[in-house]
Structure 1
Amino acid sequence: MENNSKFGSWVNAKIMPPVMKFVNTKAVKALQDGMIYSLPFIIVGSIFLILSNIPIPAVAQALNDSGWAAFFSQAYTATFGVLSLWAVVGMAYVYVRNEGYEPLPAGLTSLSAFLLIQLMQTDNPLKTAMANGTGNLSAKAVTANIDKLPHALQTLVNNPVTGVFNVTWLGGQGMVGAIIVGLLTGWAYSGMLKKGWKITLPEQVPSSVAKQFTAMIPAGVILGVAMLVYAGFKTFMNTDLLQYVYTLLEMPMQGLSDSLFGAIIIGFAVSFFWFFGVHGGLIVGTIAGVFLMPNTAANAALYHAGKLSLANGAHIVTNEFYNNFINLTGSGITIGLVIFTLFAAKSTQMKTLGKIELVPAIFNINEPFLFGLPLVMNPFLAIPFFLTPVVIALTTYLVIYFGIVPPLNGVAAPWTTPAIISGFFIGGWKMAIWQACTLVISILIYFPFAKKYDQILVKQEAEKMAEEAK
Structure 2
Amino acid sequence: MQEESSKKGIGSFINQKILPPVMKFVNTRPIKALQNGMVYALPFIIIGSIFLILSNVPIKSVADALKASGWTAFFTQAYTTTFGVLSIWAVVGIAYVYVKNEGYEALPAGLTALSAFLMLQLLQTTSPLTTAIGKGGTGILNTAGSTVMSAHNVASHVSQLPHVLQTFVKSPITNVINITWLGGQGMVAAIIIGILVGASYSKMLKLGWKFTLPEQVPASVADQFTAMIPAGVILMVSMFIYAGLKTLMHTDLLSLIYKILELPMQGISDSLLGAIVIGFAVSFFWFFGVHGGLIVAAIASAFLIPNTAANAVLYHAGKLTLANGAHIITNEFYNNFINLTGSGITFGLVIFAVFMAKSEQFKSIGKIELVPAIFNINEPFLFGLPLVMNPFLAIPFFLTPLFVAISTYCMIYFGVVPPLNGVAAPWTTPAVISGFLIGGWKMAIWQAITLAVSVIMYFPFARRYDNYLLQKEQQKAATDDSETTAKD
TM-score bracket for the superposition, by shorter chain length: over 0.9
The question of 1:270 aligning with 2:282 is answered: yes
Partners of 1:9 and 1:45 in 2: how far apart? 45
Aligned match of 2:61 in 53, 58, 61? Answer: 58
Cα gap change, 1:147 to 1:225, in 2 (>3 Å): farther
Partners of 1:437 and 1:13 in 2: how far apart? 38
Partners of 1:153 and 1:55 in 2: how far apart? 42
1:153 Cα deviation (Å)?
3.4
AA matched with 1:49: L
Partners of 1:112 and 1:125 in 2: how far apart? 26
The question of 1:155 aligning with 2:158 is answered: no
User: What's 1:425 paired with?
Assistant: 437
Residues 45-444 of structure 1 correspond to what in structure 2 (within 5 A)?
45-131=48-134, 132-133=137-138, 150-444=162-456
3-state SS of 1:169 partner: coil
Percent identity of equivalent pairs: 72
Aligned match of 1:7 in 6, 10, 13? Answer: 10
1:3 Cα deviation (Å)?
1.1
1:381 Cα deviation (Å)?
0.4
Partners of 1:37 and 1:118 in 2: how far apart? 23
AA matched with 2:468: I
Answer whether contact 2:307 2:331 (CA < 8 A) is retained.
yes
Q: Which runs of 5+ in 2 are unaligned?
A: 140-149, 483-488
Partners of 2:37 and 2:56 in 1: how far apart? 30
Partners of 1:136 and 1:156 in 2: how far apart? 18
Answer whether contact 2:132 2:151 (CA < 8 A) is retained.
no
Answer whether contact 2:332 2:420 (CA < 8 A) is retained.
yes
1:98 Cα deviation (Å)?
0.3
3-state SS of 1:390 partner: helix
Answer whether contact 2:310 2:422 (CA < 8 A) is retained.
yes
AA matched with 2:475: E
Aligned match of 2:41 in 34, 38, 47? Answer: 38
Partners of 2:312 and 2:295 in 1: how far apart? 25
1:158 Cα deviation (Å)?
4.3
AA matched with 1:121: Q
Answer whether contact 2:204 2:230 (CA < 8 A) is retained.
yes
The question of 1:17 aligning with 2:29 is answered: no
May I ask how many residue pairs the two structures share in their alignment? Answer: 465
Partners of 2:247 and 2:455 in 1: how far apart? 60
Partners of 2:334 and 2:408 in 1: how far apart? 11
RMSD in angstroms over aligned alpha carbons? 1.6
3-state SS of 1:170 partner: coil
Partners of 2:470 and 2:383 in 1: how far apart? 19
User: What's 1:446 paired with?
Assistant: 458
3-state SS of 1:168 partner: coil
Partners of 1:136 and 1:226 in 2: how far apart? 39
Answer whether contact 2:436 2:444 (CA < 8 A) is retained.
yes
Partners of 1:296 and 1:89 in 2: how far apart? 20
Q: Which runs of 5+ in 1 are unaligned?
A: none
Partners of 2:330 and 2:193 in 1: how far apart? 23
Cα gap change, 1:249 to 1:149, in 2 (>3 Å): farther
1:148 Cα deviation (Å)?
10
Answer whether contact 2:126 2:172 (CA < 8 A) is retained.
yes
Answer whether contact 2:245 2:252 (CA < 8 A) is retained.
yes
1:264 Cα deviation (Å)?
1.1
1:225 Cα deviation (Å)?
0.6
1:114 Cα deviation (Å)?
0.4
Structure 1 residues 161-194: Cα deviation after superposition (integer angstroms, max 9, x where no partner)? 0011111100001001001110000001111011
More moved, 112-121 vs 124-133: 124-133
Partners of 2:169 and 2:254 in 1: how far apart? 24
Structure 1 residues 225-257: Cα deviation after superposition (integer angstroms, max 9, x where no partner)? 110111111111111111100100100110111
1:152 Cα deviation (Å)?
1.1
AA matched with 1:64: K
1:133 Cα deviation (Å)?
3.9
More moved, 204-213 vs 170-179: 204-213
AA matched with 2:95: A
1:200 Cα deviation (Å)?
1.1
Partners of 1:207 and 1:260 in 2: how far apart? 54
1:201 Cα deviation (Å)?
1.2
AA matched with 1:389: P
Partners of 2:160 and 2:303 in 1: how far apart? 41
1:300 Cα deviation (Å)?
0.3
AA matched with 1:234: K
